[in-house]
Amino acid sequence: MLRIQSAPLVTEPALTLLEGDAPAIGAVCSFTGLARDLGDHSGVESLFLEHYPGMTEAAIQDVIEKAAQRWAIHRTAVLHRVGEIQAAERIVFVGVSSRHRQEAFEACQFIMDYLKTSAPFWKKEITADGEGEWVEQKVSDREAALRWSDSDSA
C-alpha cells in the first residue's frame, strides 16, 4: 500500500493490511510522524508539503522494493500527507510486517530514513502572516541514512 494524499491520514486500515491473514506474520513495526507544535518563538503555525505526482510514488515504490530485497518482509504500507498540515496532525506512516521483529524494525527505519533524505517532497514552514520558508534537509537525517549505504544505498 502506497498513498500520497492531502486528506488526514487514517492508519488503522494500513495496520489491518500489514497484519493480514498470513499465519507466518510475527511482527508489525510502524512509525507515525506528527507535525510538532513549533510555537517556540519561531512563529511557525503550520507546514506545507509539496510533491511531484507520479515521480514521488515511483521513487517510494523503488525504496519499498529495495527493502523487500534486503529483508524478508511480508507487506509494506507508506502513507504520506501533502498540502497544509497543522500541529499534531499525522504527516507520515510507514509500516512493515515480517516473520521476525528485527527485519520489520530495520526495514521500517530504512524506508523512513529514505523518506527523510531522498523522497521528492518539499516542506515549507508557514508563519502567522501566511508567509513561509522552504526547509533545508537536516544533517542529522542525512547522517542517519548513511548507515544503510554500506551495502545498498537508497
φ, ψ of residue 13 in degrees (nearest 5):
-60, -35
CB 31 within 8 A of CB 108: yes
pTM score, whole prediction: 0.87
**Domain presence at residue 30:** yes
pLDDT at residue 6 in the model: 96
152 in any annotated domain: no
Q: Report yes or no on 151 lying in a domain.
A: no
Looking from the CA of 61 toward its CB, the CA atoms found within 13 Å total: 10
In a domain, 120, yes or no: yes
Contact of 123 with 85, CB cutoff 8 Å: no
How confident is the model at residue 136, as a pLDDT?
Answer: 78
What pLDDT does 116 receive?
Answer: 87
Kindly state whether residue 16 falls inside one of the protein's structural domains: yes
Residue 100 within any structural domain of the chain? yes
pLDDT in the model for residue 144: 66
CB atoms within 10 A of CB 136: 7
State the pLDDT at residue 22: 74
- Total Cβ atoms within 10 A of residue 99: 14
Q: Which domain holds residue 6?
A: 2-145
Q: How many CB atoms lie within 10 A of CB 92?
A: 20
Residue 154 lies in a domain: no
- Count of the separate structural domains present in the chain: 1
Residue type, 71: W
- Output the domain CATH number for residue 17: 3.90.1170.40
Mean pLDDT by 10 residues, the chain (154 residues): 96 93 88 79 81 94 95 96 92 96 96 90 85 76 69 47
Q: Which three cell numbers stand for residue 98?
A: 515480517
Residue 153 domain-assigned (yes or no): no
